[in-house]
Amino acid sequence: MNKNIAVIRGDGIGPEIVEQALRVLEKTAEKFGHTFSFTDVDMGGCAIDKWGNPLPEAELQKCLESDSVLLGAVGGEKWNNVAGDMRPEKGLLRLRAGMGVYSNNRPAKIWKQLAEASPLKKEIVEKGIDFIIVRELIGGIYFGEHKTAGNVATDILQYSEEEIERIGRIGFETARKRNKKLCSVEKSNVLDSSRLWKKVMHSLAEEYPDVELSDMLVDNCAMQIVKNPAQFDVIVTENMFGDILSDEASMITGSIGMIPSSSLGATSCGLYEPIHGSAPDIAGMDVANPIGTILSVAMMLRFSFDMPNEADSIENAVSAVLDDGFRTADIMSDGCKKVGCSEMGNLIISRM
């Protein structure tokens, strides 16, 4: 199978971590008989330096013509004084809007080798943490009307059936590719928008009889994530709830450098990136952790290219390297062997 991947190396450590992820893709192509072609795209601070624009239209077009997009990280202190509408992060917002990716999917997975880094009690962690939060990304209270009149401020939370249905389908399809359990999170005991959310989700469930749907109020979900995260497989929720819950979920895993993410829309073309930033203070030092980016590639293979075996191969290789005690500086612990960014890439490739 031939796939064209738009590659945004970005700023700071972005080029270093992306390079290792591309090497993993090349190994995957060799092992499974695929062909991956890569198209470089300028976005972020590097695009400002080169083009005077964080994402020129021609660069966005490359992404729209690709089968999926791999992003490292953008931004840094160098561009802090750039005008607001031309900051590096504006390129990312423009990319999301241009691609129409309305679903942000962030896994929360504890690697057993890094269990001690979790702030949760050992007996909770030992039950396992491995779930995905599917967050609606371009609707809800963040995109509603905002106004202040005198000493009164108002923010409108609004969702249509169509907006709920399209994110709901992403939730069901994601669960179908995992353990077939979907938890819909809302606040239907208080909010009309949540009552509509619940109605649409249950209507959708009729189309997915193989997926077990459950409902949970958002405040209870926040408690359950720290009390018993092992109960979850896929959580689907609206924008603000998803923003808060996904940050909570990332913290219980203990290491931001290990967490990938995807953003998806109506097509299989997705945006894949680690959740961490550009870390300009360590750029060029070959010490960054590439695992979050490498695992983002595994998500791309699984959710955009329908290549579950290839994704498993990458994830199993990461686990094997951690089993062998190799760690980058950010996840280093006593008795382990410290390696740099490129060497971590070498080790993962060698275990594939």
Q: Are residues 75 and 143 in the same domain?
A: no
Catalytic residue among 40, 247, 306, 324: 247
**Residue that terminates a domain, selected from 207, 224, 252:** 252
For residue 102, indicate whether it is catalytic. no
- Please tell me which residue in 90, 187, 233, 272 is annotated as part of the active site: 187
Per-residue pLDDT band for 196 (boundaries 50, 70, 90) equals very high
Q: How many domains does the chain have?
A: 2
Residue 165 lies in a domain: yes
Residues 102 and 144 in one domain: no
E runs forming strands in the chain: 2-10, 35-40, 68-73, 103-109, 130-136, 146-149, 152-155, 181-186, 212-217, 234-237, 260-264, 271-274, 326-327, 337-338
CA dist 227 and 79 (Å) reads 41
The mean pLDDT value of the chain amounts to: 95
Rounded mean pLDDT of 275-289? Answer: 95
190 shares its domain with 241: yes
Residue 344, C-beta contacts closer than 8 angstroms, at least 6 positions apart: 20, 289, 290, 291, 321, 326, 328
Are residues 91 and 190 part of one domain?
no
Catalytic residue of the set 109, 130, 142, 330: 142
Residue that is last in its domain, among 202, 237, 252: 252
Q: Give per-residue pLDDT as tens, 219-233.
A: 999 999 999 999 999
Q: Are strands 337-338 and 326-327 parallel, antiparallel or unpaired?
A: parallel
Q: Is residue 272 part of a domain?
A: yes
DSSP annotation of 270 reads -
Euclidean distance between CA atoms 22 and 331, whole angstroms: 22
Asked whether residue 114 is domain-assigned, the answer is: no
Whether residue 7 is found in the same domain as residue 105: yes
Do both 237 and 299 map to the same domain? no
> Can you tell me which residue has the tokens 């961490």?
276
- 219 catalytic per annotation: yes
CATH number at residue 153: 3.40.718.10
Instruction: Return the amino acid letter for 63.
Output: C
What pLDDT digit, counting tens, does each position of 56-112 carry?
999 999 999 999 999 999 999 999 888 877 889 889 889 998 999 999 999 999 998
In a domain, 335, yes or no: yes
Residue 243 is a catalytic residue: yes
Query: What's the angle, vertex CA 69, arms to CA 253 and CA 233, rounded to 5?
Result: 35
pLDDT (mean) for 161-185:
96
Where does a domain end: 252, 281, 310? Answer: 252
| Residue 52 belongs to domain spanning | 1-109+255-352
Residue 57 lies in a domain: yes
Same domain? 325 vs 340 = yes
Q: Quick check: is 121 catalytic?
A: no
Say if residues 292 and 275 touch (Cβ distance below 8 Å): yes
Active site residue 247: yes
